[in-house]
Each structure stands twice: as structure tokens, then as C-alpha cells.
Amino acid sequence: MKINYLNTAYFCFALVSFVMILGCEPEVQVKQARIVQNFNKDWKFKLGDHPEAINHSVDLSDWRSLELPHDWSIEGEFDESHPTKPEGGALPAGIGWYQKSFEIPADWNERKVFISFDGVYRNSEVWINGNYLGIRPFGYISFQYDLTPYLKFGQENSIAVKVDNSPQPNSRWYTGSGIYRNVKLIATNTVYVDHWGTFVTTPVVSEKTAEVDLAIVLKNEAADLDQIKVVSSIVNADNQPVETKEQLLKLAGQKNVNVKMNFSLESPKLWSPERPNMYSIQTKIYQGSRLLDTYETPLGIRKFRFDAQEGFFLNGEHMKLYGVCLHHDLGALGAAINIHAIERRLRILKEMGVNAIRTAHNPPSPELLQLTDRMGFIVQDEAFDVWKKKKVEYDYHLNWDQWHERDLSDMILRDRNHPSIMMWSIGNEIREQFDSTGIAMTKELVALVKELDTTRPVTIALTENIPEKNYIYQSGVLDVLGFNYKHEAYKDFPERFKGEKVLSSESISGLMTRGHYDMPSDSLMYWPPSHKGEFDGNEDLTVSAYDHISAYWGSTHEQTWKEVKRLDFMAGMFVWTGFDYLGEPIPYPYPARSSYFGIIDLAGFPKDIYYMYQSEWTKEDVLHIFPHWNWSKGAMVDVWAYYNNADEVELFLNGKSLGIKSKQGDDLHISWKVPFEPGKLKAVSRKDGEIVLQREIVTAAAPAKIELIGDKEAVKADGNDLIFVTVNIQDDNGVLAPRADNLVKFDISGGGKIVGVDNGYQASLEPFKANQRKAFNGKCLVIIQSNYKNEPITLKASSEGLTSETLTITIAK
């Protein structure tokens, strides 16, 4: 498809975008400024190896048309024989090719034109008009190519991308395959801000004043330009400039020009998880009155420090890092990035009380960091899962020697302006910690980070906590030590690692299936008990949702949190993991194909442990009782309660008190053993004799109807917006049927399409790309994406024997 960039619609869009967003002046200058074009539409795709796609004239009639981002693995069927193995999600990988034809305006012939890829998994190679641009093996890194020398201005051009994810296994978790992040086309003048060409720091921060330093790298490819003016303005959240600086520069034939600008702000609004106040710096380059370039840099003003005795401080106030680790997949959407899906996840975590994210174990999408800035999460930005020593056959160790310097540098350069990032992690459970090569390699990596950013500490996630055995620690160059698991040793760290700042970089690995309960709940178990140990699991491949089962290297959630909570020197912890993720289905073999570690299941439904953290990590009143109340007559049921902001909880069954209980010592929950009888279980929390909260669980009758609940009321008709619709199976009285597994079929019309279905069950082999899904323990999920039509969306859910339900979703203006 040809794209006419100079049509009227484009210039209307450009004028509005650049005047409102970038603050440009007259239209004539808008036409000459930087243009950033969404380049996701109108791609062709075909699985298999198709080198003929390099040629513009190739017949693509049997190729599929699609819009990026795209993950072809998530579209496949689960199969144990896939070379990705269940550890990689038991989904297909292989090779795929993408091609796109596009027209470049004739009057761009004096511009620089770049293509920017946020991430391609894996081994991407790119050609423009048959000319080879390069390869990037690392599937999580962002990169850019200069198209200018090879473009045909005023004519049709073609770009081809080969993605080779066939060497398997190359990961310990699901990766996805394809151009799974966003792509942009960027056009500049011949004097422009370089790719990732700004660096903002805040060397002095207080409530009264802040000093802001901005470094800019300008590229000069103009033949006859002598003098330019650089104007940078700090702009607040209301898009009002609060401080502006400008400089006149003599270019004198220089190819690279370094500019430094300094600002002082009075009474700055500081950034924190509670108040994520954001500014931006808008930079404009002028030749006389002609606007040459515009560039925006995010700015958040904060100061932080780690302390060997007291943990972590932000803006002078002590705080614990309440963190989770997150893999990059988005459940039923696979690896294909969507900012609305990420935002939903972060919103659920925020409500739990999470204030920190570890990007396990790779550089994240730019959208995640945009959201952590805006929503208020402290980020540990992690580069690698392996160095030179492999964990699986075809992982990054094969690329280490040639690519690690470039990949690490690119991560730092891309991400260092995000205020939410407060740590750089150079690796996870790296095997070089066990031999002397780890010393020199750690020194090299830390030096590389420090060359690009000295404002943040460098850390790593270690497993060996005996100093004499850990060569990465012995390098002596780490600013903060991260330790994975082994919570029982935390108390000894001040003696073992004298003067060091420490945190729990990964913890717990508790195992749970939402809505499934095995008793007795006070028996702690390890599944498996050792690396190859046998255990008595469940035939249906579930794990009890009481907090009493973990992997052998881990602990219960309560065990580790109690230690981190009481030890002041522990800066905080990152729970493994915030959400279930595809792949690594410990403790079970296939057909299990996704993890059991999450506090929240793959569909985004919280497990009960979510409320323990909410009771500990938030100030909001919490009272959560479980399990459900559908059992066999006379069965002895363990009833747990998580609560806060109260002295006691009283439990009632059908109006009869079963006693009052309170947490004792460092308890994090209370419990009762209750002989089951159908009816109503009720809990009441009280503070000083006054009721704080009441919660009820009612015995459900047979499934009778469907309830649909969207996570928003309206979507934008932009082809990108999502709405996540929770499907509940209820009895006639609207009570959730906690064991319902009805097959629910979906019909959709209007301005949306179904892009994923899920139910959170880790061993379901139902496809994610479908118009139906079985409920699991009473719930399933359907994900709808707008399809550009400006029409209300109608979703109908039906199931044999149940009353159907319809949900209408409006289109936002």
C-alpha cells in the first residue's frame, strides 16, 4: 500500500500534533521540523524463510496483511513437541518475514530518514530496497537504521525484515516471535538531535529548589550551516513553560556538537510513587527563524539513596521497596506490546500497594517506562539473564562477545531519562558468580554503565550469599547487592557483607492456582522438594491458593515478607512474580504451560495472596476472607482472613459467631477451622469496638447466568485501545459459581474485535486467539480491541444452559 505523507489529512494531523505537543510555531516551520510517524500499519507477513522478500517486485499475494506489533507464536497451538518446550510456553517459534511498501515524499530528499524498532524477537535482519541494513540478535533491545542513502524519494520503497527465532531453546520463559514492539519512521533536517541524544540529571533537589542539567548531542550533516540557536524549555504537567534557556552555537563544520544547558526551578513538584509529578524538556533547534528540529525529554525531579543500615530513602523520606518482578508477555496477547494492557497490569499492582518493578530479565518496552514514570513505580531496569556461560542451548551467551557492549549501552542511552528508573541491573543469577571470570566481567560492565550514567546505582541479582564463593561480589564495584531467595540468611548480611547496601532482588516463588484450595492449609510443602525430587501433586495440575506451597528454593509469601519487613537494612524486595507468565510451568510437566508463581493469574484475576500484600502495603482498609463456600456437607474447611486497620475479626456462619481472633506477634493472617454447612459465611473487622469492614461469602447454587464486567466504559476508535471484559458464571441470585467450567461463546459486532481469551488456568490448552473460552473456577476473560470503526461495540456471551448476557461499549469522543 502506498502512503502519501503529503495529503491534506496528514498535514492537518502534523499541524495539530506539532503545535499542541511540541509547541512549534507557524505551519511553515512544522513542515521543516522533526516528523515521527507510526509505521505499524500495512505490513505483509509470512511464516518460513522467504529471502525473495528482499526484492520489491516479489509477489506477496499469498502473504498475510497485518498491523504491528505482532507475535506469531501466540497465534499457534500448544504442543509439547515444539522446540520451545513447555518452559518456553509450548508454542511455535521458527522463522518469519515481514515486508512493507511505502512512498516517501519527493521533497524529503534533503531530509534524514530513519526507521526505529522498539524490539524484534529475535535475530532480526533488515533490508531497504534490497540494501542490507544490519542484524540485531538480542530480541529485547531497541535499535534504529538510517534509510536515507537508499531511499527513492517521490517513489515507492520497500522494507523487508527477517526474524529468526528458530534456534531453540533460547530462553527459560516464553519470548514470543516477531516484530512485537512498535516501529516508527522518523524524518529530520540535516541538523538534528541525535538518536537518544539527550541526558537530563538533577544534581541538586529539595522542596525549595532544583537544579536541572541537560546534555544534548546534535548531529550536523549540513554542508553550509554556520550558526544555530538551541532553545530548551522545562514544561510542567499543564504544558506551561516554567524555565527556558537558549544558546547560540557555531557549527564550524563539526559533525557532532555537544550542548550543555542548566536550569534552576523554584518550589519544584517532586516525583514519587505517591505523587508522580512529571515535567518535560522541549528542545528546539533554529537557523534564524527556521525551525530545524524538535525533541522532547521526560523529566521527573527526585533524589534517592540507599543506606547500608536503613535501606532506601526517596526525597529524604525512608521507604521500603514493595516490588514485584515482571516478565514481558501480556498473557493472551503474547509478547505483542499494547500500552493499554500494560497500564491495566500496573493499575492492578498499584491497587495492591506495589511501588517498584523489576524488569525480569531484559530491557522492557518503552511503553512500560512511560507508564512507570506517569503512574509512579520505582524501576530496576535489567539487562541480561546470561553472560558468557549459557543457561539453555541457544541463549544470549552465543551473542555475548560481539554484542554485550552495544546492547548494554543502548539500554542505558534509551532509558536513562526516565525518573522511575533508580537502579541498573547488569544481570540475573549469572553463572560467572561462581568462578573468577566474574570479577573482570563485572568490572567491565559496571564501568560501561558508569561511563553513561553515574546518577544511579548498579546492582545485580545474586544467588550465592557466601562472600568467599561469589566472584561477582568480589569485584568490589557493585553499588547495591541484590540477593535472590534464601530469606533465612538475610539477618546475617550486615556481618557477611559489611557496609554493603542490600535488597531482595527476587523472592518467594510461591505456587498457586486461583480459586483452588487443598487442606490442611497449615502444612508447608515444597513442589518439587529438590531439583529432581518427586512430589504428590494434583491430577488436574492445580496448586492450592493458600500460602503454603512453594518451589524448593523459595518460601511462602509470609515467610519472606516478615523478614524484609523487620530488617531495616533491607531496602525492600521484588516478589517472583507479580503476574503468572507464559512458560516455566513449575512444578508440573506438560500440559502445564504457564507459571504458577504470580500473585495475579495470567488473565489478570488476583489470587488470594494479593490481599495479604494489600493489607500490608497500603493504608486502605482491607478485609479478605477465603476460600469459597461450596463444599461437601460436614467437611472441615480452613477459613483464612487477611485484614488491617483493625484490632480483631469475628467470623459468623449463618448468623452464629465462630469466635473473635486477632493477629499475634508478626502474624499476617488469622484462620478458623469450620465444619461446612451451606449458607453465609460473614467476617466483621473492628477497631476500638467499631466496625471497620464486613465481608460475606455465600454458598452458590447451580450456574444459571453470565455476568460481563468491562474494565472501562468506552474505548477510542484508534485501532489500538483495549477493553478487558471479565466473565463471571453466577447462580440465579448473582453469586459466583466457584467451580463453574462452562464453555462461553462470544459474538461481537460494531467497533471492536476479539484479540484474546483466557481463564488463568495454567494447564489449559485452549487457544488464546478464539471466540470462546471455558470458565475456570467461575471466571474467564475476553479482550476486545477497537477496529477503527466509530460504532458502539456489542459483545454477547452465551453458554448452553445459562442465560446469555450482552455488554455494550461506547466509543470515546
Across the strands, what pairs with 725? 710, 782
424 phi and psi angles, rounded to 5 deg: -105, 125
Our answer to whether residue 690 is catalytic in this structure is: no
Q: Are strands 112-117 and 183-188 parallel, antiparallel or unpaired?
A: antiparallel
**Residue located via cell numbers 506517569:** 374
Residues contacting 203, CB < 8 A, separation 6+: 211, 213
Structural contact between residues 110 and 190, judged by C-beta atoms closer than 8 angstroms: yes
Structural contact between residues 329 and 582, judged by C-beta atoms closer than 8 angstroms: yes
| Cα gap 129→144, rounded to integer Å | 17
C-alpha grid cell for residue 250?
A: 557555531
- Residue 691: CB atoms within 10 A of its CB come to 11
| Cα gap 246→233, rounded to integer Å | 9
Is residue 371 classed exposed, middle or buried when 0-12, 13-18 and 19+ CB atoms within 10 A define those classes?
Answer: buried
- For the four alpha carbons of 28, 29, 32 and 33, in that order, the dihedral sign comes to negative
Our answer to whether residue 488 is catalytic in this structure is: no
533 phi and psi angles, rounded to 5 deg: -70, 150
| Cα gap 663→670, rounded to integer Å | 6
Structural contact between residues 93 and 168, judged by C-beta atoms closer than 8 angstroms: yes
3-state DSSP assignment of residue 109: coil
- Residue 521: CB atoms within 10 A of its CB come to 21
3-state DSSP assignment of residue 224: coil
Please give the C-alpha separations between residue 676 and each of 646, 673, 680, in angstroms, as whole numbers: 27, 9, 10
Asked, as a colleague might, if the bond just before 577 is cis with ω within 30 of 0, I would say yes
Is residue 24 classed exposed, middle or buried when 0-12, 13-18 and 19+ CB atoms within 10 A define those classes?
Answer: buried
| Cα gap 391→169, rounded to integer Å | 10
Please give the C-alpha separations between residue 565 and each of 360, 423, 560, 569, 641, in angstroms, as whole numbers: 23, 21, 9, 10, 20
| Cα gap 588→599, rounded to integer Å | 18
The rounded radius of gyration (Å) of the Cα atoms in the chain is 28
DSSP string, 631-659: --TT-EEEEEEEE-S-SEEEEEETTEEEE
Q: 250-253, long-range: CB within 8 Å, 24+ apart, which pairs?
A: 250/226, 251/191, 251/220, 251/222, 251/225, 251/226, 251/227, 252/226, 253/220
| Cα gap 331→240, rounded to integer Å | 39
Catalytic option among 87, 125, 429, 432: 429
DSSP string, 654-689: TTEEEEEE---TT---EEEEEE--SSEEEEEEEETT
| Cα gap 342→141, rounded to integer Å | 18
Q: Are strands 356-359 and 321-326 parallel, antiparallel or unpaired?
A: parallel
Could you tell me the strand order of the sheet in which 143-146 lies?
A: 35-38, 183-188, 112-117, 143-146
Catalytic option among 125, 506, 558, 805: 506
Structural contact between residues 785 and 751, judged by C-beta atoms closer than 8 angstroms: no
| Cα gap 669→646, rounded to integer Å | 12
Q: How many helices and strands in the chain, by DSSP H and E?
A: 10, 46
Residues with a known catalytic role: 429, 506
